[in-house]
Amino acid sequence: MRTMLLTAVALLLPSIARAEVPGNFGIGIGGGLGVSGISMKAPFGPVAIQGVIGTYGWNDRYDDDRLGVSIDALWEQPSFASGGPVNLAWNIGFGGAVGVGRNDPLVGISGVAGLEFIVQPAPIDIVLEYRPGIILSPGTDVELVNFSGHIRYYF
């Protein structure tokens, strides 16, 4: 019985280890809560800060160009699959965004649930995110179906 228990623990340990990107800072392209442009991510243990700087537009509803910034706090979860050089992990968190332009500023908040493909030999992550969000200004609008993605190089 004791041998079976130790064997089960030994088999489960690799699956509980956190997926780690091969670097301390990632930069690339991506989208956030309505913001598309330069994507950055810095892991700090189980939490990571992700930001996007670029243009802000909420599903093409606003016709003017806006400068936008989004910031997310993400809790990195354990890898649940690994196949050679690629780990598959997930994260969950929340974020906010601001867009400024010719008209009223846009302000929004969102939840984040991400699926991460972490390529170990080439320090790259590819992330697909589900982002239900709420526009707070101008007016209020709820978007329950919203997706984004990122691809970043780490160094």
Give the Å distances, CA to CA, from 61 to 30, 50, 110, 128, 140: 19, 25, 17, 23, 13
Pairing of strands 124-130, 106-119: antiparallel
Q: Is residue 38 part of a domain?
A: yes
Model confidence over 71-125: pLDDT tens digits?
999 999 888 888 888 999 999 999 999 988 877 888 999 999 999 999 988 899 9
**pLDDT score for 15:** 41
d(CA 75, CA 60): 30
Domain count, the chain: 1
Q: Is residue 133 part of a domain?
A: yes
Model confidence over 45-62: pLDDT tens digits?
889 999 999 988 655 555
Least confident of 20-24, 27-31, 43-47, 124-128: 20-24
For residue 153, the SS3 value is strand
Q: Is residue 11 part of a domain?
A: no
Q: Is residue 141 part of a domain?
A: yes
For the chain, what is the mean pLDDT? 83
Q: Residue 88's CB: how many other CB atoms inside 10 A?
A: 14
The residue assigned the tokens 């130790």 is 6
Q: Is residue 3 part of a domain?
A: no
Q: CATH code at 60? A: 2.40.160
Q: Is residue 53 part of a domain?
A: yes
Give the structural domain span for 139.
23-154
Q: Is residue 137 part of a domain?
A: yes
Q: Is residue 121 part of a domain?
A: yes
Q: What are phi and psi of 4, to 5 degrees?
A: -65, -40
**pLDDT score for 11:** 40
